[in-house]
């Protein structure tokens, strides 16, 4: 984890962009000249991709890699950049959830001073439910016995999954920008408050070993919840990342999960800490994780207001990779300050993947805003692929693009608009 100093904050004030930003035509479309790609590394033909997706991705590698243009990466020319979401994009299943599952089964969640203080949006109902389920007998800062106390484990999992208590009450309430954060995502690193980064990394390593060893399809029962019990690196994605790196791309992971967990897993595809971006907790003077995290785009240290989530992922890509400072990090950048290849699976990825200038790779998990953009294919660069393991069946009906697929900042569902302001028509699922 980079820059873990307790005093660390990342650049200045937040002007949210509700949709793609119109840029001067020359700045937005100044693409590099194409090259033959005759000497570029090739994606493996032994791994199955949907349709002509492999060829389409290879075309971008051939055209944009430093293997095609030796000037790139030298003499002040920036190397091309690729960035991928992690959970259900590079791996099957959610590795942060796998770590939470392991932690609950091994009594690694510490009792907070107050559940209310664990999140700025925690409701009285959420606080009461957790206090009632987890009790007050365990001293503050000591491990809760969640391996045997199934009521406590149930409440934690329910709030993490749905933002509600086991009784159905809202666990989070108040005001937040729905394109910058979601409380139950921000709550995950907050659950590990009191631990050191090294301790959380050790839990992630054990959870990783367990999940990779379990057969595909394995589930686990925690309290009344059934959760995935396995994970797998997608071989196609591992090969894509390896090929991109050989072709001279800088490859990053941009995740809405906990950074120590993402860093443990990203090593498995050859991506180091410097190239792994996720929710970065602020540490106290003893090096322990707090309930605060570092911010972006002018929002400094905060309690979950800004994380790598929807437009927040664009902000962190711009700030951490392209060194865009302050409010401008929220904006769609000119061609030379955008990723060439982006990949994701959910609405949380739609903005940064949409910023890619070469290919927008989408693993279809039936997420409405993302699939509306993908199937509308406004720039002809969207590459849609079913999940490589246990793909979903075809979505019934259509995605409600014209009425209720866009995640508005205030939480409403509204029409998805193209950059020119026209409405994206409803789309049928065709790649599954």
Residue 124 and residue 272 in one domain: no
CA distance to 20, 41, 248, per residue, from 38 (Å): 35, 9, 14
pLDDT of 75 reads: 43
Task: Please tell me the predicted confidence (pLDDT) of residue 109.
Answer: 98
Query: Is there a domain that residue 204 lies in?
Result: no
What is the reported pLDDT for 31?
A: 55
Q: Are residues 238 and 359 both part of a single domain?
A: yes
| Mean pLDDT, rounded, for 140-147 | 98
The arithmetic mean of pLDDT across residues 138-150, rounded, is 98
Tell me: do 30 and 169 sit in the same domain: no
Q: Which two tokens stand for residue 90?
A: 């590079």
Look at residue 19 in the predicted model and tell me its pLDDT: 38
Q: Is 246 exposed, middle or buried (0-12, 13-18, 19+ CB in 10 A)?
A: middle
Assigned domain for 278 exists? yes
Is 16 among the domain residues?
no
* Mean pLDDT of all residues belonging to the chain: 92
Residue 424 lies in a domain: no
**H or E element, residue 56:** helix 53-64
In a domain, 10, yes or no: no
Judged against a pLDDT cut of 80, whether residue 71 lies above it is answered with no
Q: What is the mean pLDDT of residues 398-419?
A: 98
Which three-class secondary structure state does DSSP give residue 179? coil
Residues 81 and 99 in one domain: no
Mean pLDDT confidence for 123-150: 98
212-227 residues labelled b (16+ CB within 10 A) or e (exposed): eebeeeeebebbebeb
* Residue 16: pLDDT over 60: no
CB count, 10 Å around CB of 71?
A: 11
Average pLDDT over residues 335-359: 98
- Distance CA(153)–CA(162), nearest Å, equals 14
Query: Which residues pair with residue 382 across a beta bridge?
Result: 360
Q: Is 52 found in the same domain as 149?
A: no
The answer to the question of residue 416 being in a domain is: no
Confidence class of residue 78 from pLDDT cuts 50, 70 and 90? confident
Does 72 share its domain with 171? Answer: no
Q: pLDDT value at position 408?
A: 98
380 pLDDT above the threshold of 80? yes
Q: How would residue 68 be classed by pLDDT, with cut points 50, 70 and 90?
A: confident
pLDDT at residue 1, rounded to an integer? 47
> How many angstroms separate the CA atoms of 364 and 425, rounded?
18
Residue 82 placed within a domain: yes
pLDDT at 29 over 60: no
184 and 315 fall within a common domain:
no
Do 125 and 61 sit in the same domain of this protein? no
Q: Mean pLDDT throughout 210-233? A: 97
Report how far residue 197's alpha carbon sits from residue 278's, in angstroms, rounded to the nearest whole number.
13
Asked whether residue 278 falls in the same domain as residue 132, the answer is no
User: Residue 34 — very low, low, confident or very high, per pLDDT cuts 50/70/90?
Assistant: low
Helix pair 150-162, 183-191: axis angle to 10 deg: 140
Asked if 119 and 303 count as a contact pair (C-beta separation under 8 A), the reply is yes
pLDDT band at 35 (very low <50, low <70, confident <90, very high): low
Q: Are residues 83 and 150 in the same domain?
A: no
Q: What pLDDT does residue 24 have?
A: 34
Residue whose C-alpha is closest to residue 256's, from 372, 93, 94, 365: 94
Higher pLDDT, 413 or 17: 413
Measure the CA–CA gap between 324 and 316, rounded to whole angstroms.
9
Q: Is residue 384 over pLDDT 70?
A: yes
The answer, yes or no, to whether residue 39 has pLDDT greater than 90, is no
Cα separation values, 400 from 215, 375, 406, 428, Å = 36, 12, 9, 9
* Pair 79, 110 in one domain: no
| pLDDT average, residue stretch 353-377 | 98
Decide if pLDDT at 28 tops 50: no
Q: What is the pLDDT of residue 74?
A: 47
Per DSSP, the three-state class of 398 is strand
Sign of the CA dihedral 298, 303, 308, 310? negative
Task: Evaluate the CA torsion angle 110, 286, 118, 92 in order and state its sign.
Answer: negative
What is the chain's alpha carbon radius of gyration, rounded to the nearest angstrom?
A: 21
Token pair 């050191």 is at which residue? 196
We report the CATH number of the domain holding residue 262 as 3.40.50.1000
Q: Mean pLDDT throughout 16-25? A: 35
| Total domains present in the chain | 2
What are the residues facing 359 on neighbouring strands? 341
**Confidence check: pLDDT of 188 > 70:** yes
- The mean pLDDT of 81-107, rounded to a whole number, is 98
Selection from 346, 289, 292, 348 nearest residue 315 by Cα: 348
Domain of residue 363 covers 25-90+234-391
Q: Which of 292, 198, 195, 233 is nearest to 98 (CA)?
A: 233
Residues 176 and 280 both lie in one domain: no
Q: How far is CA 184 from CA 165, 171, 215, in A?
A: 12, 9, 28
Residue 103 lies in a domain: yes
């Amino acid at each position: 984890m980079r820059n873990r100093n307790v005093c660390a904050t990342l650049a200045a004030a937040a002007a949210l962009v509700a949709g793609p930003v119109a840029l001067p035509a020359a700045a937005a479309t100044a693409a590099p000249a194409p090259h033959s790609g005759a000497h570029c590394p090739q994606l493996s033909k032994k791994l199955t991709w949907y349709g002509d997706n492999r060829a389409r991705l290879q075309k971008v590698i051939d055209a944009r890699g430093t293997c095609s243009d030796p000037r790139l990466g030298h003499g002040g020319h920036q190397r091309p950049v690729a960035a991928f979401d992690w959970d259900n994009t590079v791996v099957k299943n959610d590795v942060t959830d796998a770590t939470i599952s392991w932690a609950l089964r091994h009594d690694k969640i510490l009792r907070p001073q107050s559940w209310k203080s664990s999140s700025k949006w925690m409701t009285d109902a959420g606080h009461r439910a957790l206090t009632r389920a987890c009790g007050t007998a365990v001293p503050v800062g000591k491990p809760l016995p969640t391996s045997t106390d199934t009521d406590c484990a149930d409440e934690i999992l329910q709030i993490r999954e749905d933002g509600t208590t086991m009784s159905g009450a809202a666990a989070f309430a108040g005001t937040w920008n729905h394109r910058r954060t979601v409380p139950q995502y921000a709550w995950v690193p907050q659950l590990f408050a009191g631990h050191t980064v090294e301790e959380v990394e050790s839990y992630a390593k054990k959870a990783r070993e367990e999940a990779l060893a379990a057969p595909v399809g394995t589930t686990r029962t925690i309290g009344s919840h059934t959760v995935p019990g396995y994970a797998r690196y997608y071989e196609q994605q591992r090969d894509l990342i390896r090929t991109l790196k050989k072709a001279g791309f800088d490859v990053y992971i941009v995740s809405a999960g906990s950074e120590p967990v993402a860093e443990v897993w990203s090593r498995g595809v050859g991506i180091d800490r410097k190239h792994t971006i996720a929710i970065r907790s602020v540490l106290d003077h003893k090096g322990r994780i707090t309930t605060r995290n570092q911010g972006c785009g002018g929002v400094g240290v905060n309690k979950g207001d800004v994380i790598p989530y929807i437009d927040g992922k664009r902000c962190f890509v711009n700030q951490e990779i392209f060194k865009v400072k302050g409010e401008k990090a929220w904006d769609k950048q000119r061609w030379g300050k955008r990723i060439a290849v982006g990949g994701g699976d959910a609405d949380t990825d739609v903005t940064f993947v949409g910023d890619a200038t070469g290919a927008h790779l989408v693993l279809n998990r039936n997420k409405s805003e993302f699939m509306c953009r993908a199937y509308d294919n406004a720039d002809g660069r969207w590459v849609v692929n079913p999940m490589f393991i246990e793909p979903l069946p075809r979505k019934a009906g259509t995605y409600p693009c014209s009425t209720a697929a866009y995640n508005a900042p205030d939480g409403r569902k509204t029409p998805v608009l193209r950059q020119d302001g026209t409405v994206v028509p409803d789309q049928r699922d065709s790649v599954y």
